[in-house]
Amino acid sequence: MLRRALLTAFLVFTTVLVLPAKERILLNRIGPSQSTLFIAKADGSGERSLLPKSGFDYNASFSADGKWIVFTSERNGSADIYRVHPDGSGLERLTDDPAYDDQGALSPDGKQLAFVSSRGTGSADIWMLDLKARKARNLTHAPASFRPCWSPDGKWIAFSSDRNTSIQRAAGRWEQLQEASLYLIRPDGTGLRSLTSHGKFAGSPKWSPDSKRVVFYEMDVKDTFLARRFALVSATVGTGGQDAAAAVSQIVSMNVATGARQEHSSGSGLKVSPQFVTASRIGYFVKEGPHAGLAFTSGDQGAGGKTYNPSWSPDGKWVVYQKYSSEARPQRQNLFSQDPKFDLVYSDPFPAFSQDGKKLALSDKLGSTFPGALTALSVMDADGGNLRRIFQEKDTLVVQSQWSPNGDWIVFGAGFYFANRSKPATLMMARPDGSELRQLTKGPGNSGFPSWSPDGKRIVYRVWGESEHGLRIINPEDGSSTTLTTGYDTFPAWSPRRDVIAFTSFRDNDFDIYTIRPDGTGPQRLTTAPGNDAHSVWSPDGKHILFSSARLGFKDEAPLYDGVPQPYAELFVMDADGTNQRPLTDNQWEDGTPAWEPVPVP
């Protein structure tokens, strides 16, 4: 018996030893670092935290009897739906699924929950949960549906959706616009009909107390990009001269039986999240404008400030809303992964590991939370310790660094990028301690996004200028270069196996991942899904490619975001030949610029 027990223990021990280690991925997430719910009087005065401890909580709404507040929380990893009493007691988890669950709304009788979920498809559908049986079902079966709201009589659910729309992009840019309409559907899934016409953006429907009207906010489709960029405009380089104040929306209500419209606001300002506080008074949130904060159609102003997603109690006496933290996330903060084989951790943009896995270089955002903010080049230990800034210049972005294969050089881009790519930017090289700084490219063009060849003799990079575009390969020793491509191509990444270079290309009105041999032959398209695919990087063994993809679409209404240019971007992984594409993230934020951590060399 003793011998058998020892043998069993030995087998268990050796089994544990041979289990494969998880792959660790660093990625940059654009979105708030924390979100806290507050409850206050109807005008926003006398606010207090709803919960004793915030767990990244948002999108709260009152139950019809006012006894519960339903909200979304990421306190246990993925976004799930909870409820709590208005005094902060009785916290209860309602959904528990690795998919994205959000925007919950309780039925008037309190027996069912309508909510947005990515279950099954990865895209946003309206789902229904029987709270007693705890069984969920897909209500809409048409991805791209948001913000469900029950009619007070329980007969209808109103929601917004960008279904049956084509991909549109902001003028001169790559970010997507969002066209959305309002729809009605019965709780059993029958009776679907559109409430508003196509060609505009209409969002966040809420019912009148008599179930006869629906109030919503409405705006031009072209403004749905500017509407989510307000937090960026005053804090970044490269806004392209666009005026954020140009984004305007109005509060509108519609009779669901006759289609008769009534506009309740006018003039400038981005006005969102309307709700009937009484039968004749509508409250809403002025996201940007002369009087940002809570406002009412009666003309009175509520508390100012960033009180996102306000929801008033049925008696009109209270309001619950969220506030976002402006603090930067800590380097290597753990993030939720859809795939148990991968550990995901947060990083400042464009992390790059040395080949031995011991060091990390990245674009240091200098404490800013805004994408596109001025950056420096920093080097640190792989675990985030011993940070040193080795390059920083005034009015300069430092973008996508990479270590040479033997670890004695770092190449990076410095200058103006993204919307300001018409201005100069150059490739630079420096030792890991910042010494021996060298400029590799010269002239008025915009050069960036470099990647070393595995033998360390060449560097592929992207060039953008009035007379030339595409990918170039440069010899860092003598500065000679050759043309690899001449199209709208960017984000090149040289395979560790030396055979191909992965890159993003804009062809057929879409951004996709391609590979090409270093001699310019054998181009191959790896992704074909609608929406942007970009930020491709290789696994250390060259067998897989990480990339960011918009294929799953928006998971919420675009104008409700603040400082998140591409909230549809999820992190994906695929095999080197483009097969076996699968998501690693499932959320409403922007995930990109990943790095695959190599196994450290002893």
Q: What is the pLDDT of residues 226-273, one digit of tens each?
A: 999 754 443 333 333 344 457 999 999 999 999 999 999 999 999 999
Q: What are the residues facing 312 on neighbouring strands?
A: 319
Q: Look at the block and give the residue holding tokens 């005026």.
A: 243
The ranges assigned to domains in the chain are 334-596
Contacts of 81-85 spanning 24+ positions with Cβ under 8 A: 81/113, 81/115, 82/57, 84/50, 84/51
| Identity at 148, one-letter amino acid code | P
Q: How far apart are CA 314 and CA 64, in angstroms?
A: 6
Q: Name the residue type at position 83.
A: R
Which residues does 532 contact at the CB level (< 8 Å), separation at least 6?
Answer: 174, 176, 510, 511, 548, 549, 550, 566, 569
DSSP assignment of 376-392:
EEEEEETTS-S-EEEE-
User: Which among 268, 273, 269, 277 is positioned nearest to 298, based on CA atoms?
Assistant: 277
Domain 334-596: homologous superfamily in CATH: TolB, C-terminal domain (2.120.10.30)
Per 3-state DSSP, the chain is made up of helix, strand and coil in percentages (nearest 5) of 5, 40, 50
Rounded Cα distance between 83 and 311, Å, is 14
> Residue 295: what residue type?
A
Whether the per-residue pLDDT at 499 is higher than 80: the answer is yes
Helices (H), 120-278: 230-233
Q: What percent of the chain has pLDDT over 70?
A: 92
Which bin fits 153, alpha (ψ -120 to 50), beta or left (φ > 0)?
alpha
| Residue 338 Rama label (left phi>0; alpha psi -120 to 50; beta) | alpha
Contact partners, residue 1, CB within 8 Å, separation at least 6: none
CB 59 within 8 A of CB 102: yes
| Average confidence score pLDDT of the chain | 91
- For residue 2, pLDDT over 60 is answered with no
Confidence of residue 38 (pLDDT cuts 50, 70, 90): very high
Q: For residues 23 and 599, what is the distance between their CA atoms, to the nearest angstrom? A: 9
Q: In which residue are the tokens 């960033």 written? A: 306
Q: For residue 423, what pLDDT band results from cuts at 50, 70 and 90?
A: confident
The confidence score (pLDDT) of residue 371 equals: 61
Please state the rounded mean pLDDT for residues 28-39. 95
Phi/psi for 466 (5° steps) reads -65, -35
Here the tokens at position 243 are: 């005026």
Q: DSSP secondary-structure letter at 431? A: -
Question: Percent of the chain at pLDDT above 90?
Answer: 84
pLDDT value of residue 184: 98
What average pLDDT does this structure show over 37-49?
97
pLDDT bin (cut points 50, 70, 90) of residue 183 is very high
pLDDT band for position 85 (50/70/90)? very high
Tokens of 385: 């310790």
| 194, 197, 200, 201 alpha-carbon torsion, rounded to 10° | -20
Position of tokens 């009776």? 191
Residue 1 has pLDDT above 70, yes or no: no
> Tens digit of pLDDT for each residue in 266-307?
999 999 999 999 999 999 999 988 889 999 999 999 999 999
Q: What pLDDT, on the 0 to 100 scale, is given for residue 365? A: 80
- List the single range of 233-247, 374-388, 416-430 with lowest mean pLDDT: 233-247
pLDDT for the residue 245: 52
Q: How far is CA 399 from CA 52, 251, 378, 507, in A?
A: 40, 41, 11, 24
Mean pLDDT to the nearest integer, 345-361: 96
- Is residue 20 over pLDDT 70? no
185-194 pLDDT, tens digit per residue, is 999 999 999 9
Beta-sheet strands, E only, within 77-180: 80-84, 92-93, 101-106, 112-117, 125-130, 135-138, 145-150, 157-161
- Residue-by-residue DSSP string for 146-163: EEEEE-TTSS-EEEEE-T
How confident is the model over 405-417, as pLDDT tens digits?
999 999 999 998 8
Looking at the DSSP assignment, which residues form a beta bridge with residue 30?
A: 590
Question: Confidence class of residue 467 from pLDDT cuts 50, 70 and 90?
Answer: confident
Token couple for 486: 């001449």
Average pLDDT over residues 68-95: 97
Rounded to whole angstroms, the Cα distance separating 475 from 460 reads 9
Could you write out the three-class secondary structure of 512-570? EEEEECCCCCCCEECCCCCCCEEEEEECCCCCEEEEEECCCCCCCCHHHCCCCCCCCCE
**What pLDDT digit, counting tens, does each position of 555-594 carry?**
999 999 998 999 999 999 999 999 999 999 999 999 999 9
pLDDT in the model for residue 10: 32
Q: 114, 104 in Cβ contact below 8 A? A: yes
Tell me if residue 224 falls in helix, strand or coil: helix
337/482 Cα distance (integer angstroms)? 40
DSSP strand pairing (388-391 vs 376-381): antiparallel
The answer to whether the CB of 215 falls within 8 A of the CB of 253 is yes
Kindly report the backbone phi and psi dihedral angles of residue 427, in degrees, each rounded to the nearest multiple of 5, phi listed first. -85, 135
10 DSSP assignment: H
Give the mean model confidence (pLDDT) for residues 69-93.
97
Cα–Cα nearest to 377, from 389, 385, 395 = 389
Distance, CA of 168 to CA of 186 (rounded, Å): 30
